[in-house]
Amino acid sequence: MRICINALIITVAFLCFSSCGTTQIFDETFEKLDQDNLYVENMSQEIVRCFDEKDAESLKELFSSNIQNEYDLVSQIEYAFNLYNGKSQSYYVTEKSWDGIISDGIYYDKHFTPKIKDIVTDEGMTYSIYYLTYYIYEGDEDQIGITALGLMSDSQTELARVGKK
């Protein structure tokens, strides 16, 4: 009986002391996820604001330098704005997780492909917006930013595309 109690005490002590490091790992992981979520939420909020206010110049600035130099973004953005009616009343953002390349704890490529879904406007319209944005692109900082953005109808038909096809 005494052996069982000692074994139980040692097991409980081991679990208590070893969990301290585990908590730190989880906290660091969640902190990184929170930063990623914050980046995507802020980017999505700014995109919706640009559509609501028809702010082509600010939306263009969210695109990577390469895309800004390669495409006529202003005309593509204006075309998308002409199809977007009203100002957003509600929406939510999905698919906030990142994809890319990480090696030995170093990010070489980190990008997101979020969807801003069920954008309901004050004119009774519903849209979605998807986009691809690079947060890290090792070796070519001109790739950082949005590379493609699409405006979708409530039936998920693509109405307009801005940037890379």
- Host domain of residue 70: 2-163
Q: Say how many domains are in the chain.
A: 1
The type of residue at 50 is C
SS3 146: strand
Q: Is 60 exceeded by the pLDDT of residue 101?
A: yes
Q: pTM (2 decimals)?
A: 0.77
Q: Where would I find the beta strands (DSSP E) of 30-84?
A: none
Distance between CA 40 and CA 148 in Å, rounded?
15
125-130-132 Cα angle (round to 5): 160
For residues 115 and 129, is the Cβ–Cβ distance under 8 A? Answer: yes
Q: Is 60 exceeded by the pLDDT of residue 10?
A: no
- pLDDT given for residue 1 in this prediction: 52
CATH of the domain at 102: 3.10.450.50
Of the two residues 22 and 108, the one the predictor is more confident about is 108
Distance between CA 95 and CA 32 in Å, rounded?
16
**Four-residue CA torsion sign, 139, 64, 42, 124:** negative
At 113-156, the pLDDT tens digits run: 999 999 999 999 999 999 999 888 888 889 989 999 999 999 99
For residues 151 and 80, is the Cβ–Cβ distance under 8 A? Answer: yes
